[in-house]
């Protein structure tokens, strides 16, 4: 369950000593070591607020949108049991990707009020990147409530924040350099193929020769510019998607999905990842004349045949056929849309 920002304080104040005798000694030691690590954010958080390592992990999960799996890897021990011991709400996978009507109202109100990107992220308990991506999507799906002119400033703010974060940019640079160390003859196309196109953009302005110079490697002629025909782009995209069937939009940055197919759903169909006769839940909602949330509810009840690809669901057109709006009297006139109740 995702906890609202003004209710987070109700779940703070959890003393680490409460775990004594309830978990293994090794687990307790790992939590203490994690809290005492001077190079970690947790240590600074505890010193600055007086709260505990449990409080930090809870806020990192709820406000920072870090999964329990990621946090467990950082600490070195599984945290699900510990969250249960403190009765701390955990965000479900479905909640991480979906926005309720209340979330969208809050998001719209924040945009109208001129809230900053980080302010919106804090209110909704999501990352800056997640909010920025959602706003871009909404500017296409619902331009009346989320005009492109309003959304564009958040996109600019996001990229400005990334460039201002030296640690994030440095991590991106290191990933590019590590790749070039393993494959010194790599081209710009290779970096995009490896999913490092965005890293190269933020770390080295998209210039592979700048990264090569940092390693003392000989520069490539032409600056390693990526020049591909549409057919070649399509070939690269489909090959990657077939090798990584659950790839999300974020993982396909650099593969020109919009240029080649217009959207990720059309690309998945072309790659054979979505069988013929299946449509995205958004398209199903449009055909039925109901909300996407309602289609998802019916799908979860098993009323529609469906499949999951990446972070998206698709439903069988045949399974919703009987629910589609029908014309009155068989062929003439337009009937009322099916209510899906």
- The residue with greater pLDDT, 31 or 247, is 31
Could you tell me if 184 and 118 lie in one domain? no
Rounded mean pLDDT, 57-64: 84
Q: Does residue 171 form part of some domain?
A: yes
Measured distance CA(137)–CA(100) in Å, rounded: 15
Could you tell me if 83 and 107 lie in one domain? no
253: confidence class by pLDDT, cuts 50, 70, 90: low
Q: Which of 223, 230, 217 lies closest to 200 in space, CA to CA? A: 223
pLDDT of residue 153: 85
332: confidence class by pLDDT, cuts 50, 70, 90: very low
Measured distance CA(239)–CA(165) in Å, rounded: 34
Measured distance CA(42)–CA(55) in Å, rounded: 10
The answer on pLDDT for 226 being more than 90 is no
Q: In the β-sheet with 312-316, what is the strand arrangement from edge to edge? A: 278-280, 312-316, 306-309
Could you tell me if 103 and 140 lie in one domain? yes
Could you tell me if 183 and 206 lie in one domain? yes
pLDDT of residue 329: 42
Rounded mean pLDDT, 284-291: 88
Q: Does residue 79 form part of some domain?
A: yes
pLDDT of residue 225: 47
32: confidence class by pLDDT, cuts 50, 70, 90: very high
53: confidence class by pLDDT, cuts 50, 70, 90: very high
326: confidence class by pLDDT, cuts 50, 70, 90: low
Could you tell me if 73 and 127 lie in one domain? no
Rounded mean pLDDT, 45-71: 85
Q: Does residue 34 form part of some domain?
A: yes
The answer on pLDDT for 89 being more than 80 is yes
Could you tell me if 170 and 156 lie in one domain? no
CB atoms within 10 A of CB 304: 21
Could you tell me if 55 and 81 lie in one domain? yes
Q: Does residue 312 form part of some domain?
A: no
Could you tell me if 130 and 85 lie in one domain? no
- The residue with greater pLDDT, 29 or 40, is 29
Token code pair at residue 145: 């409530």
Of 14-18, 138-142, 173-177, 221-225, give the lowest mean pLDDT range.
221-225
Q: Does residue 197 form part of some domain?
A: yes
Q: Does residue 253 form part of some domain?
A: yes
Could you tell me if 16 and 79 lie in one domain? yes
Domain closes at, from 117, 140, 164? 164
254: confidence class by pLDDT, cuts 50, 70, 90: low
Could you tell me if 153 and 105 lie in one domain? yes
Whole-structure pTM value: 0.35
- Enclosing domain of residue 256: 230-270
Could you tell me if 256 and 200 lie in one domain? no
Place of tokens 């489909």: 238
Half-sphere exposure of 330 (CA within 13 A, CB side): 0
The answer on pLDDT for 272 being more than 80 is yes
Q: Does residue 172 form part of some domain?
A: yes
Measured distance CA(77)–CA(32) in Å, rounded: 12
Measured distance CA(187)–CA(220) in Å, rounded: 8
Percent of the chain whose pLDDT exceeds 90 = 7
Measured distance CA(111)–CA(135) in Å, rounded: 10
Rounded mean pLDDT, 163-167: 73
Of 106-110, 135-139, 258-262, 279-283, give the lowest mean pLDDT range.
258-262
The answer on pLDDT for 305 being more than 60 is yes
How many domains are there within the chain? 4
Of 113-117, 179-183, 196-200, give the lowest mean pLDDT range.
196-200
Specify whether the CB–CB gap between 84 and 19 falls below 8 A: no
| DSSP code, position 22 | T
Rounded mean pLDDT, 179-196: 81
What sign does the dihedral 202-206-208-214 (CA atoms) show? negative
Q: Does residue 153 form part of some domain?
A: yes
Mean pLDDT of the chain: 81
Domain closes at, from 190, 208, 224? 224
Domain closes at, from 137, 164, 191? 164
Could you tell me if 152 and 173 lie in one domain? no
């Amino acid at each position: 369950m995702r906890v609202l920002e003004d209710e987070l304080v109700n779940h703070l104040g959890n003393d680490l000593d409460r775990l004594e005798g309830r978990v293994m000694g090794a687990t307790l030691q790992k939590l203490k070591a994690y809290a005492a690590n001077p190079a970690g954010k947790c240590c600074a958080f505890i010193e600055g607020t007086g709260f505990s390592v449990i409080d930090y992990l809870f806020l990192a999960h709820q406000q920072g949108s870090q999964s329990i799996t990621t946090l467990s890897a950082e600490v070195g021990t599984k945290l699900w049991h510990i969250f249960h011991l403190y009765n701390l709400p955990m965000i479900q996978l479905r909640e991480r990707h979906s926005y309720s009507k209340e979330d969208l109202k809050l998001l719209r109100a924040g945009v109208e009020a001129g809230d900053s990107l980080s302010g919106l992220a804090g209110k909704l308990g999501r990352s800056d990147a997640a909010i920025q991506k959602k706003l871009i999507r909404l500017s296409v799906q619902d331009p009346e409530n989320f005009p492109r002119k309003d959304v564009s400033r958040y996109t600019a703010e996001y990229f400005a924040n990334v460039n201002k974060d030296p640690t994030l940019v440095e991590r991106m640079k290191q990933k590019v350099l590590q790749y070039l160390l393993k494959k010194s003859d790599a081209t710009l196309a290779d970096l995009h193929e490896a999913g490092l196109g965005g890293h190269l953009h933020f770390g080295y302005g998209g210039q592979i020769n700048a990264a090569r110079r940092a390693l003392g490697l000989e520069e490539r002629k032409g600056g390693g510019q990526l020049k591909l025909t549409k057919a070649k782009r399509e070939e690269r995209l489909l090959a990657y998607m077939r090798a990584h069937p659950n790839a999300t939009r974020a993982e396909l940055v650099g593969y020109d999905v919009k240029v080649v197919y217009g959207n990720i759903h059309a690309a998945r169909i072309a790659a054979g990842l979505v069988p013929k006769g299946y449509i995205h839940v958004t398209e199903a909602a449009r055909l039925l004349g109901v909300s996407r949330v309602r289609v998802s509810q019916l799908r979860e009840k098993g009323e529609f045949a469906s499949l999951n690809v990446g972070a998206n669901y698709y439903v069988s057109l045949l399974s919703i056929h009987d629910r589609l709006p029908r014309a009155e009297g068989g062929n003439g006139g337009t009937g009322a849309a099916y209510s899906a109740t």
